[in-house]
Each structure stands twice: as structure tokens, then as C-alpha cells.
Amino acid sequence: MTDPVTTPRLEIRNITRVFEGREVVSDVSLTVMPGQVTCLLGPSGCGKSTTLRIIAGVDMQDTGEIYVDGNLVCDTQFRVPPERRSIGLMFQDFALFPHLSVEDNVAFGIKGDKSNKRARVRELLEKVDLLRAIDKYPHELSGGEQQRIALARALAPRPSIMLMDEPFSGLDERLKDDIRDSTLDVLKAENTAVLLVTHEPHEAMRMADEIALMRDGKIVQQGAPYNIYNAPVDRQAAAFFSDIN
């Protein structure tokens, strides 16, 4: 038996990915504990999305292992398909199904009978404060509202771990902090473990319990946000944090 409190929701060990002879992800290891938001933070092109795609199972590492709730889901010989990894996904392009109502969008990934589905959908729509939109269609909603529905949809099946790749980057700059805060409230209310990818130090400082700082495919520093902010590992890390907004 694995202990649900001390077993990481996600653990990746020594993940490496080579594209065209270049190590784009280089010996990356990290863990996400239950209820925690771990942020994979680094400049554009450093290998964040590749790492996330490998965890999601839509790309394959060259070396290393991935565990969800203590269970191996992928190494170089063995591979659980993406839909059976208990992973929730949210990317910048979070496209809802345009032909489905909000209710059907959120219900999409939920298993079980009709009344269970309905109850779960209502619970989530309440959490994202959009119960009033239950019968609407995506095109009737603002960008921020669609984003909240996408969050509800991703959380609906109760994934063990949520992977979020720059989920706020398509949104109006003035709304971002409000949406970050309300997203974090929902994630905490659902007690979901999250691996959040961003290139914005401000976003990591605002949302993360733990930051893994990535550069040129490698994790160069890992720890609590304020430790990383106050004691950056080198000049480059300090410069990266210096233009925090």
C-alpha cells in the first residue's frame, strides 16, 4: 500500500529527451506532493513543454521514469497510454467543444451514472462561480469564463495530477492576476496537485508552493519561492527574477 499523504502525486526521475542530437530535456527529476502546486519555471525554449508532453504521454523520453501515485506509468520499456494516467491537462489553447453546452463540456470526462455526473458538474461550476452558465455554449462566454470552464472540465474526473502549460498566456493582461488567484482557489479547494509551467517569475511567485527553475533543459535550482527569489543560485537566475512585475 502506498501512503496517500507521503507518496508524491507525480514523480519524474532522470528524464532526458534528445531532438536532432541535442538534449532538450537533460536529466530532469522532480516531485509534486499531494495538494501542492509545483512550478516549472524558465525562459522560453528551455524545455518546459517537452517535459510536460512526456509526462502527459504524448511524447516519449529517451531515458528516465515517470510515476503517478507511486505507480510506474512510463519508462523506456513500459508505457501506460495517456488516457489511463490519471492526468488532467490545461494548455494555453484550452479549446472547449464548441458544439457542446457548458454542462456537457464539463461532464465529458466523468465516468459513472447520469445523476453522479450532474452532481459533479454542478459542484465544479459552483467552485468556478459559473453555475449560471450551465446551459450556455462556449461562444456565449468571455475568454476568462471559457478558461474557468476549461478548468472545471479538466478537474471533473478528479485527476491525480494536473499539468498546466502557460494556461493564462492567452488572457487579457489586466485580468490575469484575478484569474490566477481564482484558479488557485479552485485548485486548493479540490486539493489537486499541480505541475504548472510558466516563463513568468511573477506567476510562479504568486502561485507555487515549490519552484523548479529550468535552464537549457536542466533544473538549476529547486525550493520554496522565497528561498529561490532571495537566494538565486547564480547571476543568471538573479537576472531572471530581477524584472519581476
Quick one: 51 or 183, whose CB is closer to Mg ion?
A: 51
Quick one: 42 or 159, whose CB is closer to ligand ADP?
A: 42
| 222 is an interface residue for ligand ADP by CB under 6 A | no
| 44 is an interface residue for ligand ADP by CB under 6 A | yes
Quick one: 49 or 146, whose CB is closer to Mg ion?
A: 49
Q: Output the nine-digit C-alpha cell for 243.
A: 524584472
Q: Output the nine-digit C-alpha cell for 51.
A: 517535459
Q: How far is the CB of 17 from ligand ADP (least distance, A)?
A: 8
List, as own/partner pairs, every contact residues 127-135 make where C-beta atoms lie below 8 angstroms and the sequence separation is at least 24, other chains included.
Answer: 127/152, 127/186, 127/189, 127/190, 128/152, 128/182, 128/186, 129/182, 130/102, 133/102, 134/101, 134/102, 134/103, 135/101, 135/102, 135/103
The rounded distance, in Å, linking the Cα atoms of 244 and 231 is 15
| 215 is an interface residue for ligand ADP by CB under 6 A | no
| 88 is an interface residue for ligand ADP by CB under 6 A | no
Q: CB–CB of 190/184 below 8 Å?
A: no
Binding mask 14-43 toward ligand ADP (x if CB under 6 A, else -) reads: -----xx---x-----------------x-
Quick one: 67 or 91, whose CB is closer to ligand ADP?
A: 91
Footprint on this chain of Mg ion (rule: CB under 5 A): 49
